[in-house]
Amino acid sequence: MHAHFHARLPPPASSSAARRNPFASAINNPHQAGPQVPPKPIYQDRHAPASPPLQRQNAKVQPPSPPSIIIDKTRSVQFQRLNFLGEGGFARVYEVRDTHNNRLACKVVTKSSLKTKKAKTKLYAEIKIHRSLTHPNIVGFGDCFEDEENVYMTLALCPNGSLMDMLRRRRRFTEPEARFFTVQVIGACHYMHTHQVIHRDLKLGNIFLDADMNIQVGDFGLAALIENPGERKKTICGTPNYIAPEVLFDTANGHSFEVDTWSIGVILYTLVVGRPPFQTKDVKEIYQRIRDNQYEFPSDREISLEARELVKQILTPDPQQRPSLHEIIDHAFFTQGTVPRSIPVGALHGSPDFRHVSRLASQHNLARLRHSALLDEDQETQIAVPSAPPATAPAGSLPRSKSSSASVTSSLAQQEKEFQKAVQPGSPISALLSSARQPFLVAPGNGPREPSLLRKLQAVSKEAKSPVRTRLATLQNIEEEDVDREEEVRQKELQSQKARIVAQMVPSGSGHGVRDDAENVAPVERRVARVKEKTRIKEGTVAGPSAAPSGPKLNSFDAAAQTLSAAFEAFTAGRLFRPPLDDEHLPEEKVFIVSWVDYCNKYGMGYALTDGSVGVHFNDSTSIILSADKQHFDYISSHRQGTVYVRKSHTVASYPEELQGKVYLLKHFERYIMARLYGDYGYTFNDTDRTKGMDFVQKYLRMKHVIVFKMSHDVLQFNFYDHSKVILSSHGLVVTHIDKNYGITRWTLSQIMAQALLPPSTDSDQVKFNQRLVDKLKYCKEVLLSIRNASTGASQPGGEGDDEQIGMGMSAGFGGVSARSSKASLR
């Protein structure tokens, strides 16, 4: 959007795991924050009255009350002003009632306070960001309008006040209440971070309670939208008691998502103790205590060891060492303590008694609470960010056509121009509100979200031979060559890209039936690539996937679809698919995905394989895969419209400068996955001898009931949302199944289909399992056929968040196959 919006991947916690390795400390961290001399503007003269370093909290001028009848002339709607609810800065909040007797909150900002560009920009950002957020624990945004004296924002009413109001009455909260409220705050915060928003002013006064005593996070006056990976905000802002140390003392490196995590630690301490951890009467001393991390738990208050440990972990001065939000809610303070199903309204005035809540009930309540806060690992969220109007591209053209790019550039440039004009001193407030009401524009389909990034991609398209995202149906070979200057330019241009350009299920049209498996590789020798066109194999490069039969080459999706279709056709006809003995020689697949984390709306998708390697599939179509020895990695990029892969091998101690950003992100993904997601199962191992040519993810597709991974060695993996997995290898002839308890079983497809033709066994559990496996394989077949049908249909995908049905009904409880754009979620 503009200079006020920025971003960075929330770093994983530093807690060690069984698989901790030297790679975790092998890369310099450019964002390490150390104590520095605080900026002079923060501290006032000793004799001057102490005040926070924020203009928004300077001495207030009492604004006049708005009219008793507030009128939105643009919509011909009027509101009756009722009760005064509170104030902050230059804004006052009232309860209002519309003509339909609906009660709302109305935030009133006087126009006299909006004279400067800074004040206008702040209001613009608040409206723009808040209205795009939709979460059960975030205050709902209604609309904004103006009259001669004021700007009005209608919001969902929170009739039970704020947590600060409740604390003043109660003095402190019980730990069950603290658990309940903190989980909901974390849910809202995780949603914001997932969608690149930092709140930057989380505090009890900005956390409200709805009629059912559920948390509603509000006041986005200091919120910022992150723009690029690794970018840091440098504005000193926040509330003294809750402000993170890097905001005050590390302005050189700046701050990012971790400031909200710090505030959550302060909130948790305040709930269980009754006052903020660094509280003193003097603001300067508060800052000194924050800098020195000086706080203590009062001895006269009973506070659990788990609560103390969690607060200590969160209130870590180094932002890189703070736990992630999911690591916080996985802490024993939440998982081992009492969690109520809800908070009674009577808790506003007195401590509720939760002694009747059992451990089992608490576990169920915590699971329900996490789900309602959208914290479950398989839950997807969305943000109100529609696409810019697309331009019609001719058949056979590249997805990013010149005309399409020009259209998007025009729309985004116009939005930027309107914003800059609206925030100028002297410009009418109506222009600001009109611009702020417009949703964030993103490029159509797979495009970037910022005009600056779009310009980068356009520059690349003119210089580079290969497009950012290619659409050919298959890859014919893997070519290995040195990365020339053109490729270096492309990598530098795309390093800061955070926009999701992971290909959608249904790509734009082309004369020969374009599909979305742009990086599927036709089978070739594992160690020697068979290149039909000119091949230049340089020292240090490694060839690609495993061997395949001769004859017409199918990509892995089509090959597996053909195999499964033949199997179910035979099953329907009541005949044997193929003799099971014929497939006894087929190898069992040992390398597949153990765990993954999807941050494609910012950076890409990270994953760990059974052989101990860790990779990232970046949003710009490149991949990086780290060997199990944690010292070597391959960097893979696609060329020639996705028909060729270029693989370069490096070490973590020596690699090109242009890869610094991606290696830095690899470090974060690796630390997070290995510390939180990776498990030592019977099928995991460490292939430390393989330092080149590691297998990697070429494609992944988010579906309605499953996520599908296409591996470079022709393995297809289907991860179902019940946490079971089906892995197809040898073109679908070998099936590996992993249940939700990580138990693994392997069969040939011919064995499964032969078993399905036999009379049911007397073992009911085995019958149920066999039927479930057959149903899953049938669903996998339908998914693969849907991919093929979607590509031949050559229809254009919908915008982000679409759930377009492109398949047919499934059996055994599976719904229709559908394409769904990826959202950040964890596996």
Per-position DSSP letters for 584-611, written without gaps between them = TTSPPP---EEEEEEETTTTEEEEEETT
Terminal Cα-to-Cα distance of the chain (whole angstroms): 31
Give CA separation, 51 vs 41, 91, 239, 291, in Å.
11, 19, 10, 17
Per-position DSSP letters for 42-68, written without gaps between them = GSPPTTSPP--S-GGGSPPP-PPPPPS
Indicate left, alpha or beta for 221 from its phi (over 0: left) and psi (-120 to 50: alpha). alpha
Per-position DSSP letters for 493-555, written without gaps between them = HHTT--S--PPPSSPPP-TT---S-TT-B----SSS---SS-----TT----S----SSS---
How far is 618 from 719, CA to CA, in rounded Å? 20
Per-position DSSP letters for 660-693, written without gaps between them = HHHHHHHHHHHHHIIIII----TT----TT--SS
Angle of helix 485-494 versus helix 451-463 axis, rounded to 10: 170
In what side-by-side order are the strands of the sheet with 734-738?
Answer: 697-702, 706-711, 716-720, 725-729, 734-738, 744-748
User: Which of 143, 201, 516, 689 does the annotation list as catalytic?
Assistant: 201
How far is 587 from 341, CA to CA, in rounded Å? 50
201 classed as catalytic: yes
How far is 197 from 256, CA to CA, in rounded Å? 9
Any bridge partners for residue 94, and if so which?
Answer: 84, 106
Structure tokens at 227: 């723009």
Q: CA 276 from chain center: how many Å?
A: 30
Core vs surface per residue 692-729: b (16+ CB within 10 A) or e:
bbbbbbbbbbbbbbbbbbbbbbbbbbbbbbeebbbbbb
What sign for the dihedral angle of Cα 173, 177, 179, 184?
negative
Sequence-distant (≥ 6) Cβ neighbours of residue 328 within 8 angstroms:
186, 261, 264, 310, 313, 314, 334
CB 157 within 8 A of CB 95: yes
How far is 5 from 198, CA to CA, in rounded Å? 10
Catalytic residues: 201
